[in-house]
Amino acid sequence: MAEAEVDAVRERLEKYIGHPMGPASVAPDPVNVPMIRHWVAALDDRNPVYLDDAFARTTRHGGIVAPPAMLQTWSMPSPKIEGIAERGGSPVEIPADNVLRALDAEGFTGTLATNSELEFARYLHPGDLLHVSNELESVSSRKTTGLGQGYFVTWVNTYRTDDGEIVGRQLFRVFKFDPRTIDLGKLKAAR
Amino acid sequence: MSRVPPRASELAVGHELPPFELPLTSTMIVAGAIASRDFMPAHHDPAFAKAQGAPDIFMNILTTNGYVSRYVTDWAGPEAMVKSIKIRLGAPAVPGKPLRFSGRVARKSEAGDECVLELAVRAANDLGDHATGTVVVTLPGRP
């Protein structure tokens, strides 16, 4: 592939860096015990600080706390079930213009999640209402991997409570690839 | 949770967490996806997942983080506070392939009256490493 073309795709993505991937949002519900109960049952997590308030008060948590890995769960939008498969699995209407849609349009339609980094400034308590904002942190130069050619796209979600306190942060990195560039011979050899 | 939590003062770098094997069923993958409010069809609809090139429905990232957190706190106990979970994602976690968790203390330091542990954690199945990375957790008490 000509060097000039590689730069052209990457250059068209430059304008998105440092900007939101989509609108900021507020969690549909504050942190609450019913959703915690659902989660700990699903994952069979028996840490008593998530549901046993009397016990949790004897620990340094001071009362019931939400499982830290639920951070993103609180801010997940209420899904629109109808048409979910047609939207490629997106539970909500997709913003018309963001870096992922731009890469789709350039032929880099494949998506593989490669990294997740969660940081917790503090544990959440029932009643905490989360506000989440996001920002596109970086887009790599074009890379060639076992999944063909593509770009690593990294964005960060920041979680705040009502009074603006930052309680957590989440970095996501995905590889957006062009499925037509996958070297099947190489893939087979790797197995 | 029936184990006695480790004492910060007794932990050294290199200490291995007890290994844990999680048998994985479709129900567990779907339960995790819905409890984390992730309705992406690849996590509950086998036909959709296969059309995307996956062998079956596969675990969503939120659930993976949840199990990594559970693995660490099952060992570290209810006084533990998880500060971060940073993972690299690899092979999909699919029904019928148990996930094997392992971990060890990679670093240990002191912050105030807390012990800060950096744990190298891995969850693998027959397809390879599903998630590898670092969990930072604090325990009360000096190292």
Q: How far is CA A67 from the centre of its chain?
A: 17
Instruction: Provide CATH code, domain B8-140.
Output: 3.10.129.10
The total of structural domains in chain A comes to: 1
Is A124 within the bounds of a domain?
yes
The answer, for B45 touching chain A at a CB cutoff of 8 Å, is: yes
pLDDT tens figures, B13-27 = 999 999 999 999 999
Is A73 within the bounds of a domain?
no
A83: left (phi over 0), alpha (psi -120 to 50) or beta: left
Is a pLDDT exceeding 60 seen at residue A188? no
Is A108 within the bounds of a domain?
yes
pLDDT tens figures, B50-104 = 988 889 999 999 999 999 999 999 999 999 999 999 999 999 999 999 999 999 9
B108-134 mean pLDDT: 95
The answer, for B61 touching chain A at a CB cutoff of 8 Å, is: yes
The answer, for B67 touching chain A at a CB cutoff of 8 Å, is: yes
- CB contact (8 A) between residue B78 and residue A49: yes
Cβ distance B15 to B107 under 8 Å?
no
Is a pLDDT exceeding 70 seen at residue A184? no
A131-143 mean pLDDT: 96
Please report the pLDDT score of residue A5 as a whole number.
Answer: 59
Cβ distance B127 to B120 under 8 Å?
no
pLDDT band at A77 (very low <50, low <70, confident <90, very high): confident
pLDDT tens figures, A86-103 = 887 777 777 778 899 999
Q: What is the residue whose two structure tokens read 């997709």?
A: A94
Question: How far is the C-alpha of A86 from the C-alpha of A137, rounded, in Å?
Answer: 28
Residue range of the domain that includes A137 = 3-27+97-190
Question: How far is the C-alpha of B108 from the C-alpha of B9, rounded, in Å?
Answer: 10
B104-122 mean pLDDT: 95
pLDDT band at B1 (very low <50, low <70, confident <90, very high): very low
Question: How far is the C-alpha of B74 from the C-alpha of B17, rounded, in Å?
Answer: 10
Cβ distance A158 to A130 under 8 Å?
no
Task: Output the CA–CA distances (angstroms, integers) from residue A132 to A35, A63, A159, in the order listed.
Answer: 18, 24, 5
Mutate to test the interface with A, among B2, B21, B24, B37 (most CBs of A within 10 A): B37
Q: What CATH code is carried by the domain that includes residue A125? A: 3.10.129.10
Please report the pLDDT score of residue A190 as a whole number.
Answer: 44
A45-57 mean pLDDT: 98
Which residues share a beta bridge with A3?
A: none
ipTM value of the model? 0.95
Positive or negative, the CA dihedral B82, B87, B93, B98 is: negative
Question: How far is the C-alpha of A148 from the C-alpha of B76, rounded, in Å?
Answer: 41
Tell me how close the Cα of A14 comes to any Cα of chain B, in angstroms: 25
Scanning A43-190, the segments in alpha helix (DSSP H) are: 53-57, 71-75, 99-105, 184-190
User: What residue spans define the domains of chain B?
Assistant: 8-140
pLDDT tens figures, A107-121 = 998 888 999 999 999
- CB contact (8 A) between residue A45 and residue B140: no
Q: Which residues, 6 or more positions from B114, have their beta carbon under 8 angstroms from its beta carbon?
A: B138, B139, B140, B141
Is A177 within the bounds of a domain?
yes
Question: How far is the C-alpha of A169 from the C-alpha of B40, rounded, in Å?
Answer: 22
Positive or negative, the CA dihedral A139, A145, A150, A154 is: negative
Is a pLDDT exceeding 90 seen at residue A56? yes
pLDDT band at B9 (very low <50, low <70, confident <90, very high): confident
Terminal Cα-to-Cα distance of chain B (whole angstroms) = 22
Please report the pLDDT score of residue A182 as a whole number.
Answer: 77
Is A61 within the bounds of a domain?
no
Mean pLDDT of chain B: 94
Is a pLDDT exceeding 70 seen at residue A39? yes
Question: How far is the C-alpha of B72 from the C-alpha of B81, rounded, in Å?
Answer: 10
Please report the pLDDT score of residue B53 as a whole number.
Answer: 81
